[in-house]
Amino acid sequence: QVRLVESGGGLVPPGGSLRLSCEASGSIFSVNAMGWYRQAPEKQRELVATITSIHTTDYADSVKGRFTITRDNAKNAVYLQMNSLKPEDMAVYYCTASIWPSDGGPLEDYWGQGTQVTVSS
């Protein structure tokens, strides 16, 4: 049983910062790529940032230069530091990870429950 647990969402004024955290736990053999997606009301879920097992990163153009994705392989954790937040960043943020389970099953994508980020004055 693999679970991803997120934390760090909340209310922040424009220009502020938040740091999201996500830790995978359970019967994990290895964690491959990890990432963050977000979904605003009446919009499709969109990729925010990804990070590979060797720490190669990629970002959506809309967040490049403002957000930083990192990971801690020892903790099976991924983080998203969000700076200079804009109202357009308001969304539910979901972490995801591609994981090889300990039972020898195939590589599969897992998702967190989502955490709300509200950017408002």
Tell me, what's the pLDDT at 109? 97
- CA-based nearest residue to 116, from 84, 87, 94, 96: 94
CB-based contact 95:34 (threshold 8 Å): yes
What value does the mean pLDDT take over residues 76-82?
98
Tell me, what's the pLDDT at 108? 96
pLDDT tens for residues 23-71?
999 999 999 999 999 999 999 999 999 999 999 999 999 999 999 999 9
Mean pLDDT of the chain: 97
Sign (positive or negative) of CA dihedral 47, 48, 53, 57: positive
Tell me, what's the pLDDT at 11? 98
